[in-house]
Chains A and B, each alone.
Chain A
Amino acid sequence: AQTIHQWPVAEIKAVGSPLSLGCTIKGKSSPNLYWYWQATGGTLQQLFYSITVGQVESVVQLNLSASRPKDDQFILSTEKLLLSHSGFYLCAYNRGEEDTQYFGPGTRLLVL
């Protein structure tokens, strides 16, 4: 069975501070990986996707960057947080030509 884990569960950070969010997938080899951002009460905005280790494509950057250092790991980061970065960050995966994306539990971020 596949499992998707995101860390941390929640963060409260100051404007201008750095951020690193992580996502790992277990039980699925060579998954496609995705990062989403969701404002409170809003829809999902895809930020990045990766279909292979070391390669990341940007959809909407929002002054964030992403990396895929291992097959099962996806990292979202920024050196300087903005107030607008507050929200719910979701990692998702699927495989190959599969349509459905499977989501992790999310990380809630509050920037003050």
Chain B
Amino acid sequence: GDSVTQKQGQVTLSEDDFLFINCTYSTTTYPTLLWYVQYLGQGPQLLLKVTTANNKGISRGFEATYDKGTTSFHLQKASVQESDSAVYFCALVDRSNYQLIWGSGTKLIIKP
């Protein structure tokens, strides 16, 4: 079946550092991947949607790209701020079962 892997459980950066989060997937269909951000104590919010058609999405300074060669999606931001501290999830869309297949999440910690 379809699957998603997020290997980076935690990333610790300083303000203005570059952020890169990786998410690999396995599917037999054309993938659509969603990036969600979850702030402490809140429900997840959609950050970006990426498909093989558009290859890239940009929102709130974040950029999501798709790499067919490595079957992976990347989330990056040029300069992180303390307000970006949160958990970032990737989720693969499974339309046949009305499901999102979730990665395990990457916790971003910004050092003061």
User: Is this pair of chains taken from one and the same complex?
Assistant: yes
- B100 and A104: CB pair below 8 A? no
Which A residues lie within 8 Å of B44 (CB)?
44, 90, 103
The contact string, 1 if C-beta is below 8 Å from chain A, for chain B 75-112, is 00000000000000100010101111011110100000
- A46 and B100: CB pair below 8 A? yes
A15 vs B107: C-alpha distance in the bound complex, in angstroms?
31
- A100 and B99: CB pair below 8 A? no
CB distance from B54 to the nearest CB of A (A): 12
- B32 and A99: CB pair below 8 A? yes
Q: Which residues of A contact B (CB under 8 A)?
A: 32, 34, 41-46, 49, 51, 57, 59, 90, 92, 97, 99-106, 108
Q: Which residues of B contact A (CB under 8 A)?
A: 32, 34, 41-46, 49, 89, 93, 95, 97-100, 102-105, 107
